[in-house]
Amino acid sequence: MRTRWAFRLVTIGLSVLVGLLSVEVALSWRERAIAGSDRLDPGLVQHDPSLGWRLTPGWSGRHRHHDFDVRYRVNAEGFRAETAGEPEKGARTVWVLGDSFTFGLGVNDTETFVHLLDQRGRPTRRFVNLAVPGYSTDQELLLLEQQLGMRRAQAVILVVCLVNELFDNQLEVPLQVNGSKPRFEIGSHGLELRNVPVPIAVQVKADFLAVQHIGC
């Protein structure tokens, strides 16, 4: 009797083990298939000595993935294409800075939340999307300083992804980006900017492949 029960327990254990291994193999295959489905037309980002990388002015292309098939357009200023038509004179300009979430990775130009805010805010407000995929808050600060040197906004919204940005602010090579970036560190005179100019030899590959796993 004991031998029979022992045989049954071993059989059940082996069955459970085989089942778990089968599930693991199936999930791993699916994950690789989804990752392999990511196809982005080349040229969306280019090297920038001050920021590490930035969007290529005038670029447009297609991004295909297991979950979506969309197109992106970048305006002449190097940001996600703005809403067609001019805002009413005297409208308050609101800049929105962030990473791939704010840029609108995986959605068309007219589907980003910045675009939807702009549509609802007219004619009294104009929302402008200044987000760049893969950016950390240190890069967004430098970008903001650049923009303030050329034009003005009445308000700024900063969207922060807490999954990786608190770590990336401390790094010259971010967790989700195959490329270098500037960073700040505390020195004798306060915050000091490091790794600028950013080496031009890096190959910029923003967080498009990683976004399906961590979302930033």
Mean pLDDT of the chain: 83
Pair 118, 193 in one domain: yes
202 and 142 in a single domain? The answer is yes
Is the pLDDT confidence value at 26 over 90?
A: no
Mean pLDDT of 18-33: 57
123: pLDDT strictly greater than 90: no
Domain that holds residue 62: 43-214
Q: Report residue 208's pLDDT band, with 50, 70 and 90 as the boundaries.
A: very low
Please tell me the pTM assigned to this model: 0.78
- Domain co-membership, 10 together with 114: no
pLDDT tier, 2 (very low <50, low <70, confident <90, very high otherwise): low
Are 1 and 103 contained in the same domain? no
Q: Inform me whether the pLDDT recorded for 102 exceeds 80.
A: yes
Tell me, yes or no, whether 141 and 208 share the same domain: yes
What is the pLDDT confidence band of residue 28, given thresholds at 50, 70 and 90? low
Total number of domains constituting the chain: 2
Verify that 109 and 157 share a domain, yes or no.
yes
Pair 20, 47 in one domain: no
Do 27 and 47 fall into the same domain?
no
- Residue 167 and residue 182 in one domain: yes
Tell me: do 30 and 62 sit in the same domain: no
Do 4 and 109 belong together in one domain?
no
Q: Are residues 121 and 68 in the same domain?
A: yes
Q: If you write DSSP's letter for every residue of the chain in order, what string do you get? A: -HHHHHHHHHHHHHHHHHHHHHHHHHHHHHHHHHHHT-EE-TTSEEEETTTEEEEPTT-EEEEE-SS-EEEEEB-TTSSBPPPSSPPPTTPEEEEEE-SHHHHTTTS-GGGSHHHHHHHHHTTTEEEEE---TT--HHHHHHHHHHHHTT---SEEEE---TTTHHHHTT-SS-TT-SS---EEEEETTEEEEES-SPPTT-----TTTTHHHH--
